[in-house]
């Protein structure tokens, strides 16, 4: 990678300037290498990354990256086309394909049909050390299209065949279809399934997640997996300030989780990234306009104030202790604040 300009200026504190040509992907590669001490220099929020790559998996390979710097959310979890990208929230990924991430994001889905084939090639390499593979940290692995394509099932079968542990996060009851493969994983290298449950109130669930199976059905699916010998847990997230953050509401989810077989429960407060923010405020204006000023105050950035997050975490921790949750297995690594984009808010 060429450096266009590199100079020192005479100052009380000399300043070294490096100018990197080539656009955003070259900038990201540069920060992978030097690991800038000024964190704000890593920020790429609001800058769309466009490329002409086909929307399918071609190859997975190590590029020797120490830290991954995400373009919009800082989650750092996906490499594509030779540069750091991200596969965090479904809405934002549509930007990278020149698609509308707000109004029509759910009308088109991009299917990587050769993902199981590519995965098997990677798992067969002698360098693979059978680390736990996390599925569903970007978007739900059991989209409706999975019923026809069966890609997630094929991925689980590949992990089973190569003795690789798996952890999944889902809101879908379709996962019960694959409990045979999950049970084989659970009896071998290991399997853990987290069900994302924001609320157990059916009316509220229908309001904030109209395209998702009702919470009662998700709980029943979780019990079915637990009875098949698969470890299960609940991801109580995102907690919505002023909507689902009162103690009674949180307690209902924690109690139901324990009753239906969960051995672990984790939580996070709502995170509002660039595109998700627009969608969520549209929901508030339509359904809960009285909360708009409160959210404008709370979400001056992408995160709720730390005091709000700590309050919610403390309440959930006390409820978990009361329900008998102890030392839960580590949940799949999610974005810093998980899955608000999976709420179908509009």
User: What confidence tens digit (pLDDT) does each residue in 242-289 have?
Assistant: 999 999 999 999 999 999 999 999 999 999 886 678 888 989 999 999
Residues 285 and 157 in one domain: yes
User: CA 314, 166, 199 angle in degrees (round to 5)?
Assistant: 40
pLDDT at site 79: 34
Rounded distance, CA 232 to CA 329, Å? 10
Question: Residue 242: how many CA atoms within 13 Å on its side-chain side?
Answer: 14
pLDDT at site 145: 86
Does the pLDDT value for residue 60 go beyond 90? Answer: no
Rounded distance, CA 270 to CA 304, Å? 7
Residues 25 and 158 in one domain: no
The reply to whether 69 falls in a domain is: yes
Rounded distance, CA 235 to CA 214, Å? 15
Last residue of a domain, one of 37, 60, 95: 95
What does the pLDDT average to over 318-337? Answer: 68
Closest to 315 (Cα-Cα) out of 249, 243, 238, 219: 249
The reply to whether 337 falls in a domain is: yes
pLDDT at site 194: 96
What does the pLDDT average to over 279-301? Answer: 93
The reply to whether 203 falls in a domain is: yes
The reply to whether 55 falls in a domain is: yes
pLDDT at site 107: 56
Residues 77 and 223 in one domain: no
Number of domains the chain is built from: 2
The reply to whether 110 falls in a domain is: no
Residues 289 and 229 in one domain: yes
Q: What single-letter DSSP state applies at residue 202?
A: H
pLDDT band, residue 97 (cuts 50/70/90): low
- 3-state DSSP call for residue 169? strand
**What mean pLDDT is reported for the chain?**
77
Alpha helices in the chain (DSSP H): 24-34, 90-95, 115-123, 146-149, 151-161, 179-186, 202-208, 215-227, 247-259, 274-287, 292-298, 306-323
Which residues constitute the domain of residue 48?
5-11+19-95
- Phi, psi at 268, each rounded to 5°: -155, 150
The reply to whether 106 falls in a domain is: no
Q: For 183-220, what is each residue's pLDDT tens digit?
A: 999 999 999 999 999 999 999 999 998 888 999 999 99
Q: For 9-40, what is each residue's pLDDT tens digit?
A: 444 555 566 677 766 667 666 766 666 555 55
Last residue of a domain, one of 65, 95, 125: 95
CA 300 vs CA 273, 274, 293, 295, 305: distances in Å: 11, 12, 11, 8, 9
The residues pairing with 134 across neighbouring beta strands, listed in sequence order, are 167
pLDDT at site 207: 92
Highest mean pLDDT among 61-70, 97-106, 132-141, 192-201: 192-201
Rounded distance, CA 343 to CA 138, Å? 13
Classify the C-alpha dihedral 273-278-283-284 as positive or negative.
positive
The residue count of the chain comes to 346
Residues 36 and 120 in one domain: no
Residues 30 and 137 in one domain: no
pLDDT at site 218: 97
Q: For 336-346, what is each residue's pLDDT tens digit?
A: 333 333 333 22
Q: What single-letter DSSP state applies at residue 290?
A: G
pLDDT at site 143: 86
- Phi, psi at 154, each rounded to 5°: -65, -35
Report the percentage of the chain scoring pLDDT > 70. Answer: 63
The reply to whether 26 falls in a domain is: yes
pLDDT band, residue 120 (cuts 50/70/90): very high
Last residue of a domain, one of 45, 61, 95: 95
pLDDT at site 14: 58
The reply to whether 104 falls in a domain is: no
Q: For 152-180, what is each residue's pLDDT tens digit?
A: 999 999 999 999 999 999 999 999 999 99
Residues 191 and 42 in one domain: no
pLDDT at site 7: 41
pLDDT at site 74: 33
Residues 190 and 75 in one domain: no
pLDDT band, residue 49 (cuts 50/70/90): low
Does the pLDDT value for residue 335 go beyond 70? Answer: no
Answer whether 0.75 is exceeded by the pTM: no
């Amino acid at each position: 990678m060429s450096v266009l300009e590199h100079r020192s200026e005479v100052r009380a504190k000399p300043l070294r300037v490096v100018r990197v040509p080539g656009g955003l992907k070259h900038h990201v590669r540069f920060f992978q290498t030097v690991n800038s001490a000024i964190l704000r220099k890593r920020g790429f929020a609001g800058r769309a990354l466009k490329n002409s790559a086909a929307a399918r998996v071609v190859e997975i390979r190590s590029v020797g990256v120490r830290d991954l710097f995400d373009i919009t959310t800082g989650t750092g979890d996906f490499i594509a086309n030779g540069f750091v990208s991200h596969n965090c929230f479904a809405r934002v990924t549509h930007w990278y394909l020149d698609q509308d991430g707000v109004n029509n994001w759910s009308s088109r889905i991009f299917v990587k049909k050769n993902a199981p084939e590519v995965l098997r090639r990677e798992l067969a390499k002698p360098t693979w050390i059978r680390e736990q593979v996390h599925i569903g940290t970007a978007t739900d692995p059991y989209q409706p299209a999975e019923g026809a394509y069966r890609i997630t099932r094929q991925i689980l079968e590949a992990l089973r065949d190569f003795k690789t542990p798996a952890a999944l996060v889902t809101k879908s009851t379709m996962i019960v279809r694959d409990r045979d493969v999950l049970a084989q994983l659970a009896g071998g290298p290991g399997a853990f399934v987290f069900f994302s449950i924001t609320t157990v109130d059916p009316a509220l669930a229908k309001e904030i997640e109209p395209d998702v199976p009702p919470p009662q059905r998700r709980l029943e699916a979780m019990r079915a997996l637990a009875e098949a010998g698969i470890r299960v847990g609940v991801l109580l997230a995102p907690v919505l300030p002023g909507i689902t953050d009162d103690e009674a509401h949180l307690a209902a989810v924690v109690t139901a989780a324990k009753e239906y077989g969960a051995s672990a429960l984790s939580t996070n407060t709502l995170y509002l990234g660039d595109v998700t923010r627009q969608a969520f405020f549209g929901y508030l204006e339509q359904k809960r306009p009285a909360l708009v000023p409160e959210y404008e105050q709370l979400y001056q950035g992408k995160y709720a104030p730390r005091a709000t997050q700590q309050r919610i975490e403390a309440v959930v921790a006390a409820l978990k202790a009361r329900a008998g949750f102890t030392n839960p297995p580590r949940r799949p690594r999610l974005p810093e604040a998980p899955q608000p984009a999976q709420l179908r808010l509009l």
